[in-house]
Structure 1
Amino acid sequence: MKAQEILTQLRLARSPSEGLSAFLEITANLVETQRPLEELDGAKAVSREVAQILEGVGRALLGTPRQERYRTLSELMDVVNDHRGEGWIRAEASLKIVDMIGDAASVRFSYPWSMRPCLDYTMMSNLAERAPQISFVTPTPEQARIMGHILSILDLGEAVSIETAWGWERREVSNAAVEVMFPPFGLIVKDDDTIPERTLASLGLERGKIGRMLSETLAIADATEMTLGRVILSTTTGAMFRMVGSETVARDNLMRSDRLQAIMGVPSGMMFTNTGIPTLLVTLATTVAKRSSVRFVDLGHDLVAAKGRRGRFEVLPEASWLDLASGAKVEDRALARDVPFEEIRDNNLVLTPNRYLSTGARERIDALLEKHDVAPLEDLVEFIRPLSISEDEGGEYTLLEAMPADIVPDGFIAEPKRAVRVSMAKYNKARNQRLIPGDVLIAVKGTVGSVALVPEGIPEENAEKIWTAGQSMMILRATRRGGIAALALYEYLSDPTVQEHIQSLAGGAVIQSIGMKDLKALPIPLPTLDTLEEMREGFQRRKDILAQIEELRSQLEDDRAACWPHRELRAAD
């Protein structure tokens, strides 16, 4: 039976998801207890006529071979969850996960997103006449019911044990050969009663005092402390980058476990349909294995992925995520690289692939640094981080907040477009972040690395209107003892190779940012006086060329305005 035929009937329900839920329950009931339709919760959600139609469709589906049933159910789930995006990953990614699991004797799948890999693995094991111990753990009762219905329809009701709980909710350390953990992204965990004492202790937390705990961090701690077998864990890049609270503790414990095997960057849309953020797949080896390096992989590399429908990354069929994570060394360092623990610790335990795979830019920078005296950025400038200043109704002073969008082609900040009216008190507070000529601005959040110079001729101190920087920018103000000209700093930071390197240092689940430790430690080459003079002359030449371009653009507009129909329409104005 074709999925499209069933979808036509599901449209008779109030929504596709409601129709699918009713269809699964009604069809599973034909295999199980065969209760009257009026006793089924799903049937109550649709009219009796629709329920009877769905029952007939269910009988037809049950008359098909198991593989065809599963293919049809998967297609139905694809269509419904392509809109909802809840607990159902893309088919190609799921098959790669199943390949990574291999022929394990026992597998525990936890959290909603692991539902499809669990079903795929169960079906493949059945086809191979294997009977591994499989469990599925979800905090959502509705998903647990749907999973049970699908297994019943496939005559695999006894193949998987289903538990309604959080993945980290364990009584003891797991002895499953493989754990597949796909926790929800960005969920703040408030109820610590479900967290084992051992997991809390590993994060240095006490019950009732967990603060702002995110589900990804908790899943990482759970994988490290409460498992013995291999682990395949999905998380956001932010959880492997942020330098706050228990997140760094969780990453430190992960490194100390000697089990961290690979971290693979997954482009947005490749696995999850409802999020536009890139994610990570983290693999842990068994507790027996001891490791001294971590393999970082880019699953969006053109050797293993391609742009497909709607510009979304598609997994190439021949690509093996298993081999990329644990196979022989890969020669292409932009695709994969084994990074020693020592290098990771030098990078403040940041565990994102772009930090370690963008080696070309770093190597070119290192070659330049060898030819010059070098100093870390923190030795050359004062860092001024702008504070958030809210607007006052009727405020007598104006703050013009510079943003990356205010950077113009000549490298300077134009008059900022964002104006904030403030009182005297807030104006005095803003004095500390007032821009002065010669300051260098760099974006540390959002469009990380965007850099600009502050020009001469801007409002001076005590003016009614002053220029400040927005919160996404950092003010770099050269110190007298630093010994670097603002122009030299700007020219270096704005170079495309340096920009590529700075962006490789950034991280974050939704909004990219760069850590202060990384920014302060950024090595800066110090040009000689002759080089500085050459740089100033070149910068002035480019300003003159830009002025000529603007003059030509103005002439172009004037010429266009003198022709039909622009001439007549302009006159009509």
Structure 2
Amino acid sequence: MKTQEILDQLRSAMTLSQGVSGLLEITANLVGDNRPLEALECADTLRKEVAQIFEGVGRAILGTTQQERYRTLSELLDAVSDDRFLGEEWIRPEASQKLIAMIGDAALVRFSYPAAMRPCLDYTMDCVLAGRAPNIRFVTPSASQSSMMGHILTILDLQGMVSLDIDWGWDRPGVSETDVEVMLPPFGVTGKDDHTIPQRTLASLGLERGKIGRLLSETLAIADAMEMTLGRVILSTTPGSMFRMVGSETVARENLLRSDRLEAIMGVPSGMMFTNTAIPTLLVTLSPADGKRNTVRFVDLGHELVASKGRRGRFEVLPSASWADLAAGAKVKDRALARDVSFEEIRENNLVLVPNRYLSTGARERIDALLAKHDVAALEELVEFIRPVSISEDEGGELTLLEAMPSDIGLDGFVGEPRRAVRVGAAKYNKARNQRLIPGDVLIAVKGTVGSVALVPEGIPEENAETIWTAGQSMMILRPTRRGGIAALTLYEYLSDPTVQEHIQSLAGGAVIQSIGMKDLKALPIPLPDLETLTEMHEGFQRRQEILVRIEELRKQLEDDRAACWPHQKLRATD
């Protein structure tokens, strides 16, 4: 039966969720007990005539081959997942196929968390077609999803091949000896029921029962994989969990390296794997517990050799790409696609485990070549770092703070008059003095559009003026110190260079909003040019300012000429 015909029938159901669930239950019932329609759970949500229609649809589905049934159900769930019915519980078919190819012919496989449903079904079907009968387990905390999975398995005559458990993936009675674990935990979910977490897992993160604080499911899944599994692991997580420098996340990453099991970390572009999230993700693979490694392979699955831009600009997996080979195969020549990185280099990068940190090698090599020709100092040796704090508006405030943002940076490299105005009273005004901009400051974006850089010009309001310029929270003020001996223009010219910008952006991380860590920013190496180079740089900057003035004059001339012609002259508003 055509997927579109099924969707047309679903539109007459009460909701899409109830329609899909009802169709699956009714169809599965035809295979099993064949109870009266009114005895089914869906009878409470579906009208009798709708249930009868679904019964006819179910009979049509069951009249096809096993492969045709699976194709029909897959297409149906693909279609409704685009309508946000399944959310992150149903991943894209191409990504699922690449995942199950990484499993190989394992005899004992455990799939955990809601998003693992499709890979579990795909792997089970592949085993049937290959004449294999492995032990497969699917674990989900959702009773409704477990029920849906049971109905699908019944419709496909796969009831005996998959065991279903209603639990969190980390809730285990003991260390698992499963050959392969596929863990796709939900993103950003806080683990609250710590009684479901084994003591061994908590202890590995330095946590005590009842005092786990804000423990995210991604970090908990990593700890579970490290402490409670012995076989291979394929795990999905967010870049934030591999980048943030706070709490249990850094402990989990330290444990990953110490285990010697960390095999590969692959960057997955947003939309390539998960249907309804714009968040880029990571696939982490661990070797068995008896394996010993001293390098980690970082891979960009959005690279043009293994992916292409498809519908609505979303990255699509190329059919020829093998995620299994990229993770564990022979060394890849293109270092922008994949690179084996030593544990030592990872520690030098503060245990950050995101691919873009290690794959932007071209920019780093060009920078290293430049640094080799100059004296060099870390940024923290040259400037004072001033981190702006959030200041809220006061009703009836008589003083004004103009907060500079990346959008206020002009083509000339200077920050223009900030557009965001905050009216405050005397107390908050005095607090804002600490982040007041002064001529000679350099601004750099540390959150959002990371790396955007600007000079603070002369002629801005002075101290104690009713209106002063400050920086917004996404910016960092770099104030050159006397002992550092570097001019603001030198710092601006270096930091604004496209190669340096590429390098700075490779240091950023975060699940949704990119940010750069203070450790990375402070350690940024800065070349110190000689006097002759500084003179040439200053003269070049002045020439560019003069060119920009001429460009602005020509732009104004262009506008005036156009305004003098028909119909613009006739349509121009008059005072």
Give the TM-score category using the shorter length.
Answer: over 0.9
Q: Which amino acid aligns with 2:543?
A: R
1:216-241 CA distance string (max 9 Å, x none): 01111111111000000000000000
Match of 1:253 in 2: 255
The 1-side partners of 2:210 and 2:558 are apart by 69
Match of 1:480 in 2: 482
The 2-side partners of 1:572 and 1:12 are apart by 59
Q: Which amino acid aligns with 1:296?
A: F
Does residue 1:81 correspond to 2:81, yes or no? yes
The 1-side partners of 2:88 and 2:151 are apart by 17
Which consecutive aligned stretches of 4+ in structure 1 deviate over 4 angstroms post-superposition?
none
Does residue 1:175 correspond to 2:140, yes or no? no
1:404-442 CA distance string (max 9 Å, x none): 000000000000000001111111111110000000000
Q: Which moved more, 1:370-379 or 1:10-19?
A: 10-19
The 1-side partners of 2:548 and 2:83 are apart by 48
The 2-side partners of 1:452 and 1:312 are apart by 32
The 1-side partners of 2:378 and 2:83 are apart by 49
SS in 2 for 1:158: helix
Taking the TM superposition and a 5 Å limit, the aligned residue runs for 1:533-544 are 533-544=535-546
The 1-side partners of 2:528 and 2:574 are apart by 58
SS in 2 for 1:180: strand
The 2-side partners of 1:189 and 1:561 are apart by 63
SS in 2 for 1:392: coil
Q: Which moved more, 1:307-316 or 1:563-572?
A: 563-572
Q: Is the 8 A contact 1:224 1:254 kept in 2?
A: yes
Q: Is the 8 A contact 2:435 2:470 kept in 1?
A: yes
Q: Which amino acid aligns with 2:185?
A: P
Match of 1:160 in 2: 162
Match of 1:29 in 2: 29
Once the two structures are TM-superposed, the CA of residue 140 in structure 1 deviates from its matched residue by 0.7
Q: Is the 8 A contact 1:330 1:337 kept in 2?
A: yes
TM-score computed with the length of structure 1 as normaliser? 0.99
Once the two structures are TM-superposed, the CA of residue 2 in structure 1 deviates from its matched residue by 1.8
Does residue 1:7 correspond to 2:7, yes or no? yes
The 1-side partners of 2:441 and 2:101 are apart by 54
Taking the TM superposition and a 5 Å limit, the aligned residue runs for 1:342-421 are 342-421=344-423
1:145-204 CA distance string (max 9 Å, x none): 000000000011111000111001111011110000000001111221111100000000
TM-score computed with the length of structure 2 as normaliser? 0.99
The 1-side partners of 2:218 and 2:6 are apart by 37
**How many pairs align?**
573
User: Runs of 5+ in structure 1 lacking a partner?
Assistant: none
Match of 2:198 in 1: 196
SS in 2 for 1:34: coil
Q: Is the 8 A contact 1:374 1:524 kept in 2?
A: yes
The 1-side partners of 2:334 and 2:300 are apart by 11
Q: Which amino acid aligns with 1:35?
A: R
Q: Which amino acid aligns with 1:3?
A: T
Q: Is the 8 A contact 1:26 1:43 kept in 2?
A: no
Once the two structures are TM-superposed, the CA of residue 43 in structure 1 deviates from its matched residue by 3.1
Q: Which moved more, 1:501-510 or 1:531-540?
A: 531-540
SS in 2 for 1:188: coil
Does residue 1:71 correspond to 2:71, yes or no? yes
The 1-side partners of 2:214 and 2:44 are apart by 40
% of aligned pairs identical? 79
Does residue 1:128 correspond to 2:130, yes or no? yes
Once the two structures are TM-superposed, the CA of residue 509 in structure 1 deviates from its matched residue by 0.1
The 2-side partners of 1:44 and 1:91 are apart by 32
SS in 1 for 2:42: helix
Match of 2:153 in 1: 151
SS in 2 for 1:83: coil
The 2-side partners of 1:110 and 1:466 are apart by 55
Match of 1:318 in 2: 320
The 2-side partners of 1:9 and 1:113 are apart by 26
The 2-side partners of 1:176 and 1:189 are apart by 24
Match of 2:532 in 1: 530
The 1-side partners of 2:276 and 2:196 are apart by 27
The 2-side partners of 1:485 and 1:149 are apart by 69
The 2-side partners of 1:447 and 1:346 are apart by 25
1:254-279 CA distance string (max 9 Å, x none): 11010000000000000001111110
The 2-side partners of 1:311 and 1:101 are apart by 29
1:525-566 CA distance string (max 9 Å, x none): 001111111111111100000000000000111111111111
Q: Which amino acid aligns with 1:81?
A: S
Taking the TM superposition and a 5 Å limit, the aligned residue runs for 1:280-295 are 280-295=282-297
Once the two structures are TM-superposed, the CA of residue 572 in structure 1 deviates from its matched residue by 5.0
Q: Which amino acid aligns with 1:479?
A: T
The 2-side partners of 1:543 and 1:430 are apart by 31
The 2-side partners of 1:43 and 1:123 are apart by 30
- Partner residue of 1:459 out of 455, 458, 461: 461
The 2-side partners of 1:59 and 1:175 are apart by 41
The 2-side partners of 1:332 and 1:60 are apart by 50
Once the two structures are TM-superposed, the CA of residue 17 in structure 1 deviates from its matched residue by 2.4
Q: Is the 8 A contact 2:137 2:164 kept in 1?
A: yes
Tell me the C-alpha RMSD between the 2 structures. Answer: 0.8
1:270-312 CA distance string (max 9 Å, x none): 0001111110000000011100000000000000000011111
Q: Which moved more, 1:1-10 or 1:125-134?
A: 1-10
Match of 2:433 in 1: 431
Match of 2:108 in 1: 106
- Partner residue of 2:94 out of 65, 88, 92: 92
The 2-side partners of 1:191 and 1:454 are apart by 50
SS in 2 for 1:328: coil
- Shift of the 232–571 alpha-carbon distance from structure 1 to 2, 3 Å rule, reads closer
1:297-356 CA distance string (max 9 Å, x none): 000000000001111101000100000000000000000000000000000000000000
SS in 1 for 2:170: coil
SS in 1 for 2:89: coil
1:53-93 CA distance string (max 9 Å, x none): 10011011111110000000000000111121240000000
The 2-side partners of 1:16 and 1:535 are apart by 64
Q: Is the 8 A contact 2:88 2:277 kept in 1?
A: no
Q: Which amino acid aligns with 1:342?
A: E
User: Runs of 5+ in structure 2 lacking a partner?
Assistant: none
The 2-side partners of 1:384 and 1:536 are apart by 26
The 1-side partners of 2:355 and 2:468 are apart by 41
1:372-425 CA distance string (max 9 Å, x none): 000000000000000111110111111000000000000000000000011111
Once the two structures are TM-superposed, the CA of residue 571 in structure 1 deviates from its matched residue by 4.5
Q: Is the 8 A contact 1:174 1:228 kept in 2?
A: yes
- Shift of the 343–560 alpha-carbon distance from structure 1 to 2, 3 Å rule, reads same
Q: Which moved more, 1:558-567 or 1:501-510?
A: 558-567
Q: Which amino acid aligns with 2:553?
A: E
Q: Which moved more, 1:283-292 or 1:34-43?
A: 34-43
Match of 1:513 in 2: 515
Q: Is the 8 A contact 2:113 2:139 kept in 1?
A: yes
SS in 2 for 1:222: helix
The 1-side partners of 2:447 and 2:312 are apart by 27
Q: Is the 8 A contact 1:397 1:427 kept in 2?
A: yes
Once the two structures are TM-superposed, the CA of residue 569 in structure 1 deviates from its matched residue by 1.1
